[in-house]
Amino acid sequence: MIVLYTFGSAFGLPDPSPFVIKAEMLLKLAGVDYAVDTRGFGKAPKGKLPYLVDDGLTVADSTFIRLHIEKKYGFEFDSALNLEQKGLAWSIEKMLEDHLYWFVVQDRWMDDANFRKGPIKFFEVAPAVLRPMIIPIVRRKLRAALAAQGLGRHTPAERGELAQRAVAALANVLGEKRYLFGDRPCGADATFFAFVAAGLCPLFASATQVAMAAQPNLVAYRDRMLAQFYPGFKADS
Asked if 38 interacts with ligand GSH (CB under 6 A), we say no
Give 222's DSSP letter.
H
Nearer to ligand GSH, 62 or 209 (CB): 62
Nearer to ligand GSH, 4 or 170 (CB): 4
H helix runs in the chain, sequence order: 18-30, 62-73, 83-95, 101-105, 112-117, 131-149, 156-174, 187-200, 207-213, 216-229
Element (H, E) at 35: strand 34-37
Euclidean distance between CA atoms 47 and 208, whole angstroms? 27
Phi, psi of 69, deg, nearest 5: -60, -40
Q: Work out which of 49, 52, 151, 186 binds ligand GSH, going by CB under 6 A.
A: 49
Phi, psi of 10, deg, nearest 5: -160, 160
Asked if 19 interacts with ligand GSH (CB under 6 A), we say yes
Euclidean distance between CA atoms 206 and 222, whole angstroms? 18
Size of the site for ligand GSH (CB under 6 A): 9
With beta carbons less than 8 A apart as the criterion, state whether 23 and 59 touch.
Answer: no
Asked if 47 interacts with ligand GSH (CB under 6 A), we say yes
Q: Work out which of 48, 139, 143, 184 binds ligand GSH, going by CB under 6 A.
A: 48
Nearer to ligand GSH, 60 or 80 (CB): 60
Q: How many CB atoms lie within 10 A of CB 104?
A: 20
Asked if 209 interacts with ligand GSH (CB under 6 A), we say no
Nearer to ligand GSH, 142 or 167 (CB): 142
Task: Please report how close the Cβ of residue 92 comes to ligand GSH at its closest, in angstroms.
Answer: 15
Task: Please report how close the Cβ of residue 131 comes to ligand GSH at its closest, in angstroms.
Answer: 16
Nearer to ligand GSH, 83 or 133 (CB): 133
Asked if 119 interacts with ligand GSH (CB under 6 A), we say no
Euclidean distance between CA atoms 136 and 142, whole angstroms? 10
Pick out residues in 55-114 that bind ligand GSH (CB under 6 A). 61-63
Contact residues: ligand GSH, CB under 6 A = 17, 19, 47-50, 61-63
